[in-house]
Amino acid sequence: MASSNIVDMDPDVARRLFEEGATLVLLDVPLGTELGIDCKSWQVGPRFKGVKMIPPGLHFLHYCSANSPSCGGEIGPKTGLFVTLKPKDILLARWDPKEEDLDFSPSQDEEEVSRIRANLQDLDPHLGPYPYEVIRKWVSLTDRLSEEVAKNLQPLSGRICAFSDVIPEVQLTHTKDRAEQPRNDTACQSMKEGLEKLPRMKPREGTEFRFSVIPEKKYPAGATPEQITQCSLDQSYALESVLEKNHQLQPLNLLGEMQFAFVCFLIGNVYECFEHWKSLLSLLCRSEEAMRKRKELYLGLIGVLYHQLGEIPPDFFVDIVSQSNFLTSTLQDLFQFASGPGVDGTLRKRAEKFKAHLTKKFRWDFDADLDDYAPVVVELPEGVTVD
């Protein structure tokens, strides 16, 4: 880990961080491990024992174990966790070679932490400085994400893993149970047949994200066909349901959930989080009535998106098969609704500026192929028919 960024840091900031900053003491991390905090990562060298001068607040620690160079040096999947650090905090962990993971239980040993604190001066040459050059970016990506929201969303295991830890839904522990299962030694005649023969898997308990559940049916129970169509065109009912169930006291925490999902995808490499981010964005952008009622939520959404979209290549959202761009079609709805009647003037102007910014930066055309009368396919409740 290089310390060149300390040289470029304002002396007063460096002094304040040295005196008030938190310290991550990470012992026995294997040589070659890819380790990072927030938006920066490094390969661990032979002298590495942690990170110092960390600004207080919420941070994302992430790492990938690596085989030794003699065994090929391959990097494993990424693991991450959110940590909240107070001024002068010391968070202590040791590498567990069996689990290939950091073990933070030493932080619970007050004597051990006190010993580390007393010897911090001796440890200092082995501690890399926090990459202060990325602090602005990190804050811009997490300014709506509180410690409480991050804690409530991350898996109970406390670990955010790039690859899901899954187990079979049905545990076939006995030979008799396995013998009763369909044989898989014949060639499949179709993809469908092949998928049906695969065992059904589920996430291992404690590894699931605890995201808000977005209802598949965007309309209330007992809705008429006319109401179903209206709730599909304007998804405010579904959005209000999500807010009431998950963020009733602090609706703006939904933006924190968006930032959590985005960080876990961008830095943690978790594709499931990208899909959830897309679902939240789609729901927010297609809720016309909510846009009229919840000015602060939508002003915040534009600010969140401004910083997030600066981190992703413009062609990232283009579907390889259809060449359609999820983002332009979704934001098209946002900008169309924001220019409609009853929308707060400040929000309308902010949306217009954001649209102009994206058009200039990415050359996206939000006015192409607008068709207010395009058919919308909706799913009717069981037993309801349209004559």
Which are the contacts of 40, defined by CB distance < 8 A and separation ≥ 6? 131, 133, 134
Q: pLDDT-derived band of residue 14, with 50, 70 and 90 as boundaries?
A: confident
Please check whether residues 166 and 127 belong to one and the same domain.
no
The 10s digit of each residue's pLDDT in 68-123 is: 665 666 788 999 999 999 999 999 999 999 999 999 999 999 999 999 999 999 99
pLDDT (mean) for 324-342: 91
Q: Which of 165, 254, 264, 257 is nearest to 207 (CA)?
A: 165
Rounded Cα gap, residues 134 and 137, in angstroms = 5
Question: Residue 72: what pLDDT?
Answer: 60
pLDDT (mean) for 287-301: 97
Rounded Cα gap, residues 209 and 156, in angstroms = 8
Q: Is the pLDDT reported for residue 320 higher than 60? A: no
Q: What is the CATH number of the domain that holds 51?
A: 2.60.34.20
22's enclosing H/E stretch is strand 22-27
Q: pLDDT-derived band of residue 162, with 50, 70 and 90 as boundaries?
A: confident
| 387 within some domain | no
Question: Residue 108: what pLDDT?
Answer: 94
Q: Is the pLDDT reported for residue 169 higher than 80? A: no
Q: Is the pLDDT reported for residue 374 higher than 50? A: no
Number of independent structural domains in the chain: 3
pLDDT (mean) for 213-226: 93
CB atoms within 10 A of CB 202: 12
| 7 within some domain | no
| 182 within some domain | no
Q: Is the pLDDT reported for residue 66 higher than 60? A: yes
Q: Higher pLDDT residue, 387 or 64?
A: 64
Q: Higher pLDDT residue, 70 or 145?
A: 145
CA dist 115 → 25, 52, 75, 90 (Å):
12, 17, 33, 11
pLDDT (mean) for 2-30: 78
Residue type, 276: H
Question: Residue 71: what pLDDT?
Answer: 62
Q: Is the pLDDT reported for residue 376 higher than 70? A: no
Of all residues in the chain, the percent with pLDDT exceeding 70 is 80
Question: Residue 152: what pLDDT?
Answer: 97
| 240 within some domain | yes
CA dist 197 → 143, 192, 201, 238, 270 (Å):
46, 9, 12, 35, 27
Question: Residue 369: what pLDDT?
Answer: 64
Please check whether residues 200 and 243 belong to one and the same domain.
no
Q: Is the pLDDT reported for residue 35 higher than 60? A: yes
| 304 within some domain | yes
Q: pLDDT-derived band of residue 224, with 50, 70 and 90 as boundaries?
A: very high
CB atoms within 10 A of CB 140: 16
Please check whether residues 199 and 250 belong to one and the same domain.
no
For residue 195, the enclosing domain spans 162-170+190-208
Question: Residue 181: what pLDDT?
Answer: 60
Please check whether residues 251 and 133 belong to one and the same domain.
no
Q: Which of 228, 211, 208 is nearest to 219 (CA)?
A: 228
| 4 within some domain | no
Please check whether residues 202 and 236 belong to one and the same domain.
no
Q: Higher pLDDT residue, 170 or 98?
A: 98
Question: Residue 135: what pLDDT?
Answer: 95
Please check whether residues 27 and 52 belong to one and the same domain.
yes
Please check whether residues 281 and 331 belong to one and the same domain.
yes
Q: pLDDT-derived band of residue 13, with 50, 70 and 90 as boundaries?
A: confident
Question: Residue 382: what pLDDT?
Answer: 60
Q: What is the CATH number of the domain that holds 286?
A: 1.25.40.550
48's enclosing H/E stretch is none
CB atoms within 10 A of CB 224: 12
Q: Is the pLDDT reported for residue 270 higher than 90? A: yes
Q: Higher pLDDT residue, 301 or 73?
A: 301
Rounded Cα gap, residues 240 and 297, in angstroms = 12
273's enclosing H/E stretch is helix 271-285
Question: Residue 16: what pLDDT?
Answer: 81
Question: Residue 372: what pLDDT?
Answer: 45
Please check whether residues 240 and 330 belong to one and the same domain.
yes
Q: Which of 287, 376, 276 is nearest to 334 (CA)?
A: 287
Question: Residue 362: what pLDDT?
Answer: 85
Please check whether residues 103 and 195 belong to one and the same domain.
no
Rounded Cα gap, residues 227 and 215, in angstroms = 16
pLDDT (mean) for 225-246: 96
Please check whether residues 312 and 279 belong to one and the same domain.
yes
| 185 within some domain | no
| 380 within some domain | no
User: Lowest-pLDDT range, 10-14, 331-335, 354-358, 374-378?
Assistant: 374-378
Please check whether residues 203 and 239 belong to one and the same domain.
no
Please check whether residues 194 and 273 belong to one and the same domain.
no
List the 90-96 sheet strands across, edge first: 101-103, 90-96, 22-27, 50-54, 127-129
Rounded Cα gap, residues 185 and 195, in angstroms = 14
Q: Which of 317, 261, 322, 269 is nearest to 41 (CA)?
A: 269
Of all residues in the chain, the percent with pLDDT exceeding 90 is 67
